[in-house]
């Protein structure tokens, strides 16, 4: 049965960088975009702090039984960026990294499962990083790497459990992108990354659910 409404896409962390670029890609294609931000700076953004259960529950209550076809878990932090090994025994930094990059992803997916179940060919995308690869371990950035590796593991296990409900899930490395996090010297512009990610998400199937891929369609080593 064809969808008699625009494609509905929810993107966390949609106020800047990769999230904003993905939102623009979907809007340009005629989709209905539900963007969130921890501190919304535009009237079309919903407030969402993925580390706060009350905030996640409030978003779910606002959406009520609204169908979601695509959920993109993009919100993330890099709490140890530029920090030396001697600065990292601070438990608060570890707690922030995992609360945002791992627990926040799970809380968001779990809270919005009723909406995804109402969607058409529902799919979930988790934006991780090549730095979450245990195979390509080049040292440093321990909090970010560990939390992004956990996000890959979380995504693969969720994919296994949700495929029976016709919900598919992919985990993606967005590339080294010219954002506040990636820096101006990064390889690609946000629009290029977003175009690739939207293409990869559209290609998800039950056979490829649980994949870890790059923005340009290459399988990434775990």
Classify residue 218 by burial, with Cβ atoms within 10 Å: 0-12, 13-18, 19+: exposed
Element (H, E) at 5: none
Which residue in the block uniquely carries the two structure tokens 């506040």?
180
Q: Which of 26, 46, 78, 144 is catalytic?
A: 144
Active site residue 144: yes
Spatial contact of 83 and 133, defined as CB atoms under 8 Å apart: no
d(C-alpha 177, C-alpha 191), whole Å: 9
Helices 104-117 and 142-162: crossing angle in degrees, nearest 10, is 20
Spatial contact of 8 and 172, defined as CB atoms under 8 Å apart: no
Which residue in the block uniquely carries the two structure tokens 């009723």?
114
CB atoms within 10 A of CB 57: 12
d(C-alpha 209, C-alpha 6), whole Å: 24
Token representation of residue 94: 């570890």
Spatial contact of 44 and 35, defined as CB atoms under 8 Å apart: yes
Q: Which residues are catalytic?
A: 144
């Amino acid at each position: 049965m064809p969808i008699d409404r625009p494609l509905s896409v929810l993107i966390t962390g949609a106020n800047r960088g990769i999230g904003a670029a993905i939102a623009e890609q979907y809007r340009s294609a005629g989709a209905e975009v539900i963007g969130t931000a921890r501190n919304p700076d535009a009237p079309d953004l919903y407030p969402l702090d993925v580390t706060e259960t009350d905030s996640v529950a409030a978003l779910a209550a606002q959406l009520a039984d609204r169908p979601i076809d695509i959920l993109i878990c993009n919100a993330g932090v890099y709490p140890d960026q530029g920090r030396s090994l001697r600065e990292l025994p601070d438990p608060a930094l570890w707690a922030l990294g995992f609360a945002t990059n791992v627990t926040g992803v799970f809380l968001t997916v779990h809270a919005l499962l009723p909406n995804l179940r109402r969607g058409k060919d529902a799919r979930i995308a988790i934006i991780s990083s090549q730095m979450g690869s245990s195979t390509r371990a080049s040292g440093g950035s321990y909090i970010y790497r560990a939390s992004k590796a956990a996000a890959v593991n979380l995504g693969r296990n969720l994919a296994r459990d949700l495929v029976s409900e016709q919900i598919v899930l992919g985990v993606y490395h967005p590339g080294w992108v010219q954002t506040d996090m990636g820096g101006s010297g990064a390889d690609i512009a946000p629009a290029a990354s977003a175009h690739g990610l939207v293409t990869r998400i559209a290609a998800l199937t039950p056979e490829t659910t649980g994949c870890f891929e790059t923005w340009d369609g290459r399988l990434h080593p775990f």
